[in-house]
Structure 1
Amino acid sequence: MAAGTDTDAGGGGRELLRSLVRAQRGRLASAVLLAVVAVACQLVPYLMAYRVAVELVTEAAPDGGSLIRYAVVALVAIAAGTALMGGALAISHVCAYWLLYRLRQRIAERVSVLPLGEVTRRGSGGVGKLAMEDVERIEVFVAHMLPDAVAALTVVAATTVWLFVIDWRLAVAAVAVVPLAMLAMRHATRGSGAWVAQWHGAGMAMNQAVTEFLHGIKAVKVFNRQTDTVARATDAVRRYVDSETRWGLAFLPGGAAYFTIMAANVAVVVPVGLWLYRDGAVDVPTLLLFLLLALGYTGPLTKLTGYSSQLRQVRFGADEIAALLDSPALPDTARRAPLGPASVELADVSFGYTPDRRALDGVSIHAEAGRVTAVVGPSGSGKSTVARLVSRFFDVDAGSVRVGGVDVRDMAVDQLMDTVAVVFQDPFLFHDTVRANLTLGRPDLDDETVHRAARAARCHDFILALPQGYDTVVGERGATLSGGERQRISIARALLKDAPVVVLDEATASTDPENEIAIQQAVANLATGRTLLVIAHRLSTIRDADRIVVLTDGQVVETGRHDDLVTADGTYARLWADATTSARWSLGASDERSGARG
């Protein structure tokens, strides 16, 4: 991640922050006004202390009633200041939570229309950090930093004016340390843009590593790789800590000098004040007032400096959020084009996930409407890429993908999603009820329609056996169901979507024989009256397909029906021979185990 300087970086983030503030400027103005009045109230006790000092020094017999009044005024001012600041923070929090909601909504909306490649490149951990941690920092900026910073600035400005009105010589003594402190802070924050960039990048890498570890925890345990995966996640956390530590150490010399100098203003005010008092230039009340104000003068400045450091972090996170929100969406014509028969055609398609490596090179496939077309090939041949391009998770580099005779880039994205249903190899189920997962595309369906689809997908019986039937919550990513059960639910979901084109991406690749039979029956019901494009791993599941397309190294090498391709003794025949040999090995192993049990 490249780091810019403070002067040339963050334009997108600054504009994002400005737009968020503008959206709630009325409420924020009220919060700021209350904060300013609260600060004014906080200065009243100093004035009352000054009046008490004058009364005690100048009057031979101080008026007890006046002293009590001064004390009451000070207490009322303190209470009023506290209440007003509380009101300011309450209003700023309301604004901040609204902005937090709106910003996360915008992030979700943008992610939903981005090309899948852009989301994959950023990673779920990176996007999650933007949506959670960086948005939270913006919330803190609006809810706390904005009113507090205005209040602190008001204290500094009002106190400075007051000091110079009372005695310019003592005022100069009180503020003399500030320029020196600012020079120290400038040294401390030198190169902070680069430090913030490294820190932010390390944070995103840490989020990605931890998220990946949590998502893959089952595989980690099954393959007993806890040591390796924990080490990778720990290493990412350590790099984050190291980045933050190096930043802190770089800040330490100048920062320590800054805080030391700011705390030393009393050491300047006291000797200057005593010298002026000795010469009769100031009286005791004035000297006491300056001592009181000097003790509190640098506190707000220190708070402002701390906010400036936090603001750099907020701005950098806002830059990343703005970059995500400005990322180009998948182009959408928004035109619902008239479609012909529900065929699928790839015409001379070339595509690569990276510029230097093509997944498909000049591929042409025609899946006739109402027929079953299978795409097979060895691992890495480009089979799943075909499914992703038909679903328009990516756009082709060259050639075209047509559905119903229309280029998928020329139809509205929602029309394509209505036309094509996809059943993935590893279907995703939400942490919700079975019914909610089944009716994801059409939540208004009645129970009879849902049950009919579930029966057709061979999942109705096991759903009824669940503790709450269709109202059973399936857990995160469907964790309470087996892989085959999740697959059949995803097929039922595709049936309920009732799309004319269905893409099955390795639907039976990792299922046991019993589930495979149930899934094949469900697929047969799914194929009725629809165009089925099957990305197949197990060749036994597609031997009856109307057309089989064989890919090797991203190119079509054979097409035809099963018997013809086996007779041709080409790539498909070798794949089929390997598949049948593997099946015989499995059967042989099963027979041996049966004999041992006997």
Structure 2
Amino acid sequence: MINSFRRMMVASGSYAPNLQESLTISVIASIIQGIIFALFFPLLSALTANPINTNRVWTLVAVMAFLVIIEFALRWQELKFGWIVSIDAAHEMRLKLGEQLRRIPLEQLNRRRSGDLNVVLSGNVTDSLLSIGNMATIIIKTMVVPVVIIFVTYLIDWRLATAMLLTFPLAVPIYQRQRAIAGSELREVAVADANSASRIIENAQGLPILRATKQVGKQSGRLREAISIQRQIQSRAQRLSTMPALLMSMVVQVGIILLLALGVLYILQDSIESPQVFALVVIATRFSEPIAIFGNLTAIFDLMETSLERIEALMAIPPLPISQPLTTIDRFNITFDRVSFAYADQNELVLHDVSFHLPERSLTALVGSSGSGKTTITKLISRYADVKSGAIKIGGVDIRNVDVTELMGHIAVVFQDVYLFDDSILNNIRLAKPDATDAEVEAAARAANCHEFVSRLPNGYNTKVGEVGGALSGGEKQRISIARAILKDAPIVLLDEPTSALDTESEIAVQRAIDQLVENKTVVVIAHRLSTVTGADQILVLEAGRIVERGNYEELISSAGRYAQLWQAQQQSRTWKV
């Protein structure tokens, strides 16, 4: 329980003092509530006295009424965290998670599915932060009110207080069992929810392909399986958590009956007055209520705990370390010095002792068969992950000594798979430079050969591109991506040949845009069509994670090596007819 409170404090962030204040108020209010119910003992005794002590009765009623008002005022203050502050705390947590996503190494981020991240950022934050205040005060009320009642009862009759105290030990093992079941089951539910959310997103984004392959409706196997597993796990969790809750309620009811029976026995033995027993029945009912309620709310409490665990797991992913001394980059030649690399989930190296130098303001092409390591090299330049051995340097500076934000400020990326946000064309281009004026955005669009087709759209630059840019053609999306890179005006440009999947007309337009982008830049291009990079200053030929050849077009063709074989194969493919 102490660990749970500690988690709540950490999750509340800068609002932890507000939560602490709310809990302190809850303790005071719960003590007052316990005293109010304990006053039923002297009140009923005064009412049944012969003659009735009117002054004492009205004094006790007045004291109880005053305490009720005080408790109400305190409870109102206590609820401020649950109503107002918890919303701000949840907002702060989402901002922290967003900042953490910015710092997480891309290699780690790419291993998490979008549905899983969506559940953490939305559902888990809501389940935890918005429940913290209410759950914490319920816990305090459950513990403090019975303790106060028992303490006051001891002052009146130690036997009745001892009998009431026995209710706690009876409930503890049931509560522990309920927590153990609910905790493990809710963790499985959280995983199933994340898997289901990922499949739903996957299906929504891939719906055109699924329709074309008749994998919709009853044929949506992966989605149906995820939803089915989610249903099974949720049903099992609900079933397993129901019995302990029923047992908790039963223990409470049995406790009340035993207390009543004990009181009747003492009355028959003339060892206690009947008004005290009547008061005991009233108090015992109120005494047992928090325990019963808390038993039913255990599942909510464990849902909050599970959500906090998932948030903590995401926040615990360390960012890539920055080696000292922290250095800035002022030149933009690129050097790979005996670099070897393997992805986190693989043991086999994808780059083996790779070394090369790319002069500043030069064009270097990476060619080779699929899986040879071309994309990995471009990823490592932007510090997608850290190398296993060797070093990558820009301007003679190891990129591990450079702040990631500064590093990415020097690099523009245009890949084959363009991602556009469901926003206006203007805002999609402006992402590269948030403070750019409309005129600067339009200038970048003109340089990227975007302005003509954008001007034909109903709302021009304010036209929404749709989710993932679905309202635009492939060539249009590529040109917007290039306009974004032109606006950024970074000295290093990484290209995963963006023209390979385009028709001839779009390819010509995109190629013109690229010419504008790469002027006076250090450019690394992954070349699928060898004919597009014959003018490169340097061509690196990769196979199985190693550089097997390097040189310009004439040198590689004359050497009759691997590049010449790839060139000949592509030239022959041009004559194929279907």
User: After TM superposition, is the score higher than 0.5?
Assistant: yes
1:355-366 map, 5 Å:
355-366=346-357
Q: Distance in 2 between matches of 1:15 and 1:154?
A: 19
200-209 or 415-424, which deviates more: 200-209
User: How far apart are residue 579 of structure 1 and its match?
Assistant: 3.4
Partner of 2:462: 471
Q: Distance in 2 between matches of 1:144 and 1:244?
A: 24
Percentage identity across paired residues of the two chains? 29
Aligned equivalent of 1:226, options 212, 216, 221: 216
The answer to whether the 8 A contact 1:130-1:320 is kept is yes
553-562 or 494-503, which deviates more: 553-562
> How many pairs does the alignment contain?
576
Which letter does structure 1 place at the counterpart of 2:508? I
Partner of 2:134: 144
Q: Deviations over 1:464-523 (max 9, x none)?
A: 222322223323332322222121111111111111110112312322222111111111
Partner of 2:198: 208
The answer to whether the 8 A contact 1:375-1:551 is kept is yes
1:392 has 2:377 as partner = no
328-337 or 460-469, which deviates more: 328-337
Q: TM-score, normalised by structure 1?
A: 0.85
Q: 1:343 to 1:229 in 2, by over 3 A?
A: farther
Partner of 1:482: 473
Q: Distance in 1 between matches of 2:218 and 2:355?
A: 43
Q: Distance in 1 between matches of 2:523 and 2:262?
A: 90
Partner of 1:260: 250
Report the secondary structure of 2:111's partner residue: helix
Q: 1:87 to 1:324 in 2, by over 3 A?
A: same
Q: Distance in 2 between matches of 1:93 and 1:255?
A: 27
Partner of 1:429: 420
Q: Distance in 2 between matches of 1:22 and 1:277?
A: 55
User: How far apart are residue 535 of structure 1 and its match?
Assistant: 0.9
Q: Distance in 1 between matches of 2:125 and 2:24?
A: 25
Q: Distance in 1 between matches of 2:62 and 2:507?
A: 83
Q: 1:494 to 1:178 in 2, by over 3 A?
A: same
Aligned equivalent of 2:487, options 483, 496, 503: 496
316-325 or 54-63, which deviates more: 54-63
96-105 or 243-252, which deviates more: 243-252
Aligned equivalent of 2:22, options 10, 31, 34: 31
1:237-386 map, 5 Å:
237-306=227-296, 310-333=300-323, 335-340=326-331, 342-353=332-343, 354-386=345-377
Q: Distance in 1 between matches of 2:508 and 2:135?
A: 62
Q: Distance in 2 between matches of 1:392 and 1:535?
A: 17
User: How far apart are residue 248 of structure 1 and its match?
Assistant: 4.4
Report the secondary structure of 1:24's partner residue: helix
Partner of 1:506: 497
The answer to whether the 8 A contact 2:12-2:129 is kept is no
Q: Distance in 1 between matches of 2:441 and 2:14?
A: 44
Note the residue ranges of structure 2 that are not aligned, 5 or more in a row: none
Q: Deviations over 1:56-76 (max 9, x none)?
A: 54357897x998998888777
Partner of 1:596: none
Q: Distance in 1 between matches of 2:30 and 2:6?
A: 29
393-402 or 212-221, which deviates more: 212-221
Partner of 1:558: 549
The answer to whether the 8 A contact 2:367-2:539 is kept is yes
User: How far apart are residue 378 of structure 1 and its match?
Assistant: 1.9
Q: 1:277 to 1:98 in 2, by over 3 A?
A: same
Q: Deviations over 1:151-185 (max 9, x none)?
A: 23221122222332333333333343432232333
Partner of 1:450: 441
The answer to whether the 8 A contact 2:82-2:130 is kept is no
1:86 has 2:76 as partner = yes
User: How far apart are residue 459 of structure 1 and its match?
Assistant: 0.6
Q: 1:214 to 1:501 in 2, by over 3 A?
A: same
The answer to whether the 8 A contact 2:33-2:68 is kept is yes
Note the residue ranges of structure 1 that are not aligned, 5 or more in a row: 1-5, 590-598
Q: Distance in 1 between matches of 2:306 and 2:131?
A: 13
Which letter does structure 1 place at the counterpart of 2:273? D
User: How far apart are residue 118 of structure 1 and its match?
Assistant: 1.2
Which letter does structure 1 place at the counterpart of 2:377? V
Which letter does structure 2 place at the counterpart of 1:556? I
User: How far apart are residue 193 of structure 1 and its match?
Assistant: 5.6
Partner of 1:172: 162
Report the secondary structure of 1:362's partner residue: strand
1:62-81 map, 5 Å:
81=71
Which letter does structure 2 place at the counterpart of 1:368? P
Which letter does structure 1 place at the counterpart of 2:430? T
Report the secondary structure of 2:113's partner residue: helix
The answer to whether the 8 A contact 1:339-1:405 is kept is no
Q: Distance in 1 between matches of 2:522 and 2:194?
A: 42
Q: Distance in 2 between matches of 1:153 and 1:359?
A: 58
Q: Distance in 2 between matches of 1:156 and 1:165?
A: 14
Aligned equivalent of 1:409, options 400, 403, 426: 400
The answer to whether the 8 A contact 1:31-1:92 is kept is no
Question: What is the root-mean-square deviation in Å for CA atoms of aligned residues?
Answer: 3.4
1:538-553 map, 5 Å:
538-553=529-544
Q: Distance in 1 between matches of 2:287 and 2:550?
A: 83
Q: Distance in 2 between matches of 1:382 and 1:25?
A: 48
The answer to whether the 8 A contact 1:376-1:383 is kept is yes
The answer to whether the 8 A contact 1:96-1:142 is kept is yes
User: How far apart are residue 129 of structure 1 and its match?
Assistant: 2.7
The answer to whether the 8 A contact 1:550-1:558 is kept is yes
Q: Distance in 1 between matches of 2:200 and 2:177?
A: 35
User: How far apart are residue 115 of structure 1 and its match?
Assistant: 1.4
Q: 1:543 to 1:439 in 2, by over 3 A?
A: same
Q: 1:398 to 1:46 in 2, by over 3 A?
A: closer
User: How far apart are residue 422 of structure 1 and its match?
Assistant: 0.9
Which letter does structure 2 place at the counterpart of 1:280? D
Q: Distance in 2 between matches of 1:394 and 1:493?
A: 24
Report the secondary structure of 2:198's partner residue: helix
Q: TM-score, normalised by structure 2?
A: 0.88
456-465 or 279-288, which deviates more: 279-288
Which letter does structure 1 place at the counterpart of 2:98? A
User: How far apart are residue 294 of structure 1 and its match?
Assistant: 1.5
Q: 1:484 to 1:70 in 2, by over 3 A?
A: farther
Q: Distance in 1 between matches of 2:463 and 2:143?
A: 56
1:135 has 2:129 as partner = no
Which letter does structure 1 place at the counterpart of 2:450? C
Partner of 1:594: none
Partner of 1:120: 110
Partner of 1:162: 152
Which letter does structure 2 place at the counterpart of 1:236? A
Q: 1:292 to 1:543 in 2, by over 3 A?
A: same
Partner of 1:460: 451
1:105 has 2:95 as partner = yes
The answer to whether the 8 A contact 1:175-1:265 is kept is no
Q: Distance in 2 between matches of 1:80 and 1:481?
A: 64
